[in-house]
Amino acid sequence: MANSAKRENWGSRLGIIMAVAGSAVGLGNFLRFPAKAAANGGGAFMIPYFVAILLLGIPLMWIEWTLGRYGGGFEHGTAPGIFHSIWQKNRFIKYFGVIGIFGPLVIFIYYTYIESWTLAYSFFALTGKYMAAHDQQAMQAFLRGFQGLEKNEYFRTIAWAYLFFVITFIINIRVIYYGIRGGIEKLCKWAMPALFICGILLLFRVLSLGTPDLAKPAWNINNGLGFLWNPDFSALKSAKVWLEAAGQIFFTLSVGIGVILTYASYLSKGDDVVLSGLSAVSTNEFAEVILGGSIIIPAAFVFFGPQNIKDIASSGVFNLGFVTMPLVLNQLPLAALFGFVWFFLLFLAGITSSVSLAQPAVAFLEDEFDIGRKRAVGIFAVITFLLCQAAIFFLGRGVVDELDFWGGTFFLVVFATVETILFAWVFGMEKAWDEIHQGADMFVPRIYKFIIKYITPLFLFFILGMWLYQEWWPKIFMQGVGKENFYFILGTRIGLFLLFFALAVLVKIAWKKKREKGEKK
């Protein structure tokens, strides 16, 4: 085993837990989760949701923590090297690992731009810039003007959005520049507590709303919580609801992306992955289920009522966060303060996730090409800044949705399936079980030995199979894509193919250099 002394490491167990939780706790916890739950049977959605946690989320979390720690012992911090360490006889397996760099890179390209909106709106809340927008239509116009999708009384150009993108991008690069311990861990140690303070403050404010309009007694916070949490059990008959729940678990826990593999590669052999993984999952679920599920939808119910709330819940995560929530908060005392708290909470959730998305690509350059941290971050910054431009200027052309599907949905499930098969069947379940418990303070229930080997991969194959059956043909042939957006979507796909191909070539070059170096020795 190679000497890993030159590689970075985490400063403390708390640091790694906060970093992994920071990667998991993102915009989806506070925007995507309540929308998905409200649109898919309310409280009934939580049944497939918790089933997916037990059969997909927790097993994949342990798999990725264990594989990452194991690969880090061979000085590999990304999936190509880690997969090769597991199955050295297979010369193609490292190319499947390319997904673990490709996925986070693609998500970073658009996620950083969306994250910058939250910083901009934090500023707008304090300065009162969006206060003049008094209804859904006006606030929607404010958002579209800010995004550069239309010129209106609020914004004439995309300059404001671009300014805050540049600021957000620089903050991300600066954190990544200072490394694992001095940058990412340091950020997450203060950002995560600050995020929870903001979330709890908003939670108590929402729960104290009661019945603001006495003329409409049914528009109260209890009924608002009931709208989200009262179960519609008929929804459980739909396969779509089960797939949506499984997709939310992938999205919220950051499993199947490759980030946790990289983070865990900086652990030492004796570090506990069992308890640390569970702690990260628990932290994320508190943020999502308790905070995310109790703020935006119940608050919107109180002010917009039972008739409008269904349309609001299904209006999309951007509308929920940047249209509905500002309108709700504008009706409260100290509107500017609570508006800032809401958007700053989203910014903290966003930046702790986006820096994690950058780390696999940086680690790949460091580990496989022996490039120093500063130079690796510089290369990453230049390339991703250029790639981000498509998400900024072609937002209205469906580019972001296309990037999200391939980078943040499809390949995520494919990658999770590959790593599960590698872990349980190639590495071997007996050896894997011993590796999981190396340095562990608690023992994983033995039932998970069966779940990881059989249930988790079958669940993943089911998800892939259902998607191929229901969505493959129309998605591949771009059915439903308007003529005005056709070439933008086609160009995005060509760009994604070229990016994946370039990463595969870099993997080939890296292994060729290693082989030549080994022969010289």
pLDDT tens digits, the chain, 521 residues: what are they? 444 446 788 988 889 999 999 999 998 899 889 888 888 888 888 999 999 999 999 999 999 999 999 999 998 999 999 999 999 999 899 999 999 999 999 999 999 999 999 999 999 999 999 998 988 899 999 999 999 999 999 999 999 999 999 999 999 999 999 999 999 999 999 999 999 999 999 999 999 987 877 778 889 999 889 888 888 888 888 877 888 888 888 888 889 899 999 999 999 888 999 998 999 899 999 999 999 989 988 988 888 888 787 788 777 778 889 999 999 999 889 999 999 999 999 999 999 999 999 999 999 999 999 999 999 999 999 999 999 999 999 999 999 999 998 998 889 889 999 999 999 999 999 999 999 999 998 999 999 999 999 999 999 998 888 878 877 888 888 888 889 999 999 999 999 999 999 999 999 999 998 887 765 65
Per-residue model confidence (pLDDT) at position 3: 40
Domains contained in the chain, CATH given: 13-390+402-462 (1.20.1740)
Give the Å distances, CA to CA, from 141 to 27, 208, 304, 322: 22, 30, 19, 11
Neighbours of 149 (CB within 10 A): 14
Residues 6+ apart with CB under 8 A from 296: 30, 31, 34, 320, 321, 324, 325, 328
Q: Where are the alpha helices (DSSP H) in 53-130?
A: 58-72, 79-86, 93-96, 99-127
Find out whether 195 and 287 touch, Cβ atoms under 8 Å: yes
Q: Which two tokens stand for residue 434?
A: 């011993």
Residue with tokens 């250099």, as numbered in its chain = 513
Q: How far is CA 275 from the centre of its chain?
A: 22
- 3-class secondary structure, 177: helix
Per-residue b/e over 263-275, b at no fewer than 16 CB within 10 Å? bbbbbeeebbbbe
- Cβ-based burial of 307 (10 A; exposed 0-12, middle 13-18, buried ≥19): exposed
Per-residue model confidence (pLDDT) at position 6: 67
Backbone angles phi, psi at 42, to 5 degrees: 60, -125
Q: Which two tokens stand for residue 21?
A: 């939780």
**DSSP code, position 149:** S
DSSP symbols for 236-299: GG-HHHHHHHHHHHHHHHTTTSSHHHHHHTTS-TTS-HHHHHHHHHHHHHIIIIIIGGGSHHHH
One-letter identity of residue 482? G
Find out whether 492 and 399 touch, Cβ atoms under 8 Å: yes
